[in-house]
Protein backbone atom coordinates (compact mmCIF):
# COMPACT_ATOMS: atom_id res chain seq x y z
CA UNK A 1 0.00 0.00 0.00
CA UNK A 2 1.09 3.54 -0.68
CA UNK A 3 1.97 5.91 2.10
CA UNK A 4 3.22 9.45 2.68
CA UNK A 5 5.72 10.30 5.39
CA UNK A 6 7.91 13.28 6.28
CA UNK A 7 10.55 14.44 8.68
CA UNK A 8 12.31 17.74 9.37
CA UNK A 9 15.95 18.35 10.22
CA UNK A 10 17.28 21.64 11.58
CA UNK A 11 20.54 21.92 9.66
CA UNK A 12 21.65 25.07 11.51
CA UNK A 13 21.60 23.21 14.84
CA UNK A 14 22.41 19.76 13.50
CA UNK A 15 19.31 18.31 15.21
CA UNK A 16 15.85 17.01 14.36
CA UNK A 17 13.27 19.80 14.32
CA UNK A 18 11.09 18.75 17.26
CA UNK A 19 7.77 20.53 17.81
CA UNK A 20 7.35 21.80 14.25
CA UNK A 21 3.73 21.99 13.03
CA UNK A 22 2.88 20.54 9.61
CA UNK A 23 -0.39 20.86 7.70
CA UNK A 24 -1.41 18.66 4.76
CA UNK A 25 -3.77 19.83 2.02
CA UNK A 26 -5.20 18.05 -1.03
CA UNK A 27 -5.41 20.36 -4.03
CA UNK A 28 -8.39 20.33 -6.39
CA UNK A 29 -11.26 22.66 -7.13
CA UNK A 30 -10.91 23.60 -3.48
CA UNK A 31 -7.94 23.28 -1.14
CA UNK A 32 -8.94 20.64 1.38
CA UNK A 33 -7.25 20.49 4.77
CA UNK A 34 -6.47 16.85 5.64
CA UNK A 35 -4.83 17.30 9.02
CA UNK A 36 -2.17 18.85 11.19
CA UNK A 37 0.73 17.09 12.88
CA UNK A 38 3.58 18.11 15.18
CA UNK A 39 7.01 16.57 14.83
CA UNK A 40 8.31 14.43 17.68
CA UNK A 41 11.81 14.44 19.20
CA UNK A 42 13.15 12.69 16.10
CA UNK A 43 11.73 15.38 13.78
CA UNK A 44 9.10 12.93 12.48
CA UNK A 45 5.38 12.50 12.93
CA UNK A 46 4.26 9.37 14.76
CA UNK A 47 2.37 7.76 11.84
CA UNK A 48 2.17 8.17 8.07
CA UNK A 49 0.30 11.27 6.92
CA UNK A 50 -1.53 9.19 4.32
CA UNK A 51 -1.84 5.43 3.93
CA UNK A 52 -4.40 2.81 3.02
CA UNK A 53 -7.72 4.29 1.92
CA UNK A 54 -6.55 7.86 2.58
CA UNK A 55 -3.69 7.50 0.06
CA UNK A 56 -5.25 8.81 -3.16
CA UNK A 57 -3.49 9.99 -6.32
CA UNK A 58 -3.50 13.75 -6.71
CA UNK A 59 -1.71 16.97 -5.92
CA UNK A 60 -0.93 17.83 -2.30
CA UNK A 61 0.71 20.55 -0.25
CA UNK A 62 2.70 20.13 2.91
CA UNK A 63 2.91 23.42 4.82
CA UNK A 64 5.72 23.46 7.36
CA UNK A 65 5.37 26.17 10.05
CA UNK A 66 9.09 26.90 10.09
CA UNK A 67 8.86 30.46 11.40
CA UNK A 68 6.93 29.45 14.51
CA UNK A 69 9.38 26.59 15.13
CA UNK A 70 12.40 28.89 14.73
CA UNK A 71 10.85 31.43 17.11
CA UNK A 72 10.73 28.69 19.77
CA UNK A 73 14.37 27.60 19.38
CA UNK A 74 16.36 28.52 22.47
CA UNK A 75 18.50 31.59 21.93
CA UNK A 76 16.92 32.44 18.55
CA UNK A 77 15.77 35.96 17.76
CA UNK A 78 12.91 36.67 15.37
CA UNK A 79 15.23 39.03 13.49
CA UNK A 80 17.59 36.07 12.91
CA UNK A 81 15.23 34.30 10.52
CA UNK A 82 13.99 34.75 6.99
CA UNK A 83 11.44 31.93 6.60
CA UNK A 84 7.84 31.72 7.78
CA UNK A 85 5.86 28.95 6.11
CA UNK A 86 7.55 26.53 3.75
CA UNK A 87 5.06 25.14 1.23
CA UNK A 88 5.95 22.01 -0.73
CA UNK A 89 3.50 21.08 -3.52
CA UNK A 90 3.87 17.62 -5.05
CA UNK A 91 1.92 14.89 -6.82
CA UNK A 92 1.19 11.32 -5.74
CA UNK A 93 0.32 8.73 -8.34
CA UNK A 94 1.81 5.39 -7.35
CA UNK A 95 -0.75 3.58 -5.22
CA UNK A 96 1.88 1.10 -4.02
CA UNK A 97 4.73 3.59 -3.56
CA UNK A 98 6.19 5.13 -0.42
CA UNK A 99 6.52 8.88 -0.82
CA UNK A 100 8.80 10.47 1.76
CA UNK A 101 9.15 14.27 1.78
CA UNK A 102 11.96 15.39 4.10
CA UNK A 103 12.63 19.04 4.83
CA UNK A 104 16.09 20.33 5.71
CA UNK A 105 15.74 23.78 7.22
CA UNK A 106 17.77 26.63 8.65
CA UNK A 107 16.70 30.19 9.55
CA UNK A 108 17.60 31.39 6.04
CA UNK A 109 16.90 28.52 3.65
CA UNK A 110 15.60 25.02 3.07
CA UNK A 111 15.76 22.07 0.71
CA UNK A 112 13.52 19.10 0.08
CA UNK A 113 13.47 16.04 -2.14
CA UNK A 114 11.61 12.78 -2.62
CA UNK A 115 13.28 10.45 -0.17
CA UNK A 116 12.83 6.79 0.57
**What is the DSSP secondary structure assignment for residue 95, as one 8-state letter?**
T
pLDDT at position 22: 98
Please check whether residue 81 is in contact with residue 69, taking contact to mean a CB–CB distance below 8 angstroms. no
Q: Which of 18-27, 33-42, 88-97, 101-110 has the lowest mean pLDDT?
A: 88-97
Domain count, the chain: 1
pLDDT at position 51: 94
Compute the average pLDDT of residues 14-43. 97
Q: Which CATH number characterizes residue 80's domain? A: 2.60.40.180
Stronger pLDDT, 71 or 26, i.e. the higher one: 26
Range of the domain at 54: 3-112
Please check whether residue 6 is in contact with residue 50, taking contact to mean a CB–CB distance below 8 angstroms. no
Give pLDDT tens digits for 67-116.
Answer: 999 988 877 667 777 889 999 999 998 777 899 999 999 988 999 999 98
Amino acid sequence: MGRLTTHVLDTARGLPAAGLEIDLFRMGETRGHLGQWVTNGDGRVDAPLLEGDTFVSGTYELVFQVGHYLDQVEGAKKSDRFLGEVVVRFSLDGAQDHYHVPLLVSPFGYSTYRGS
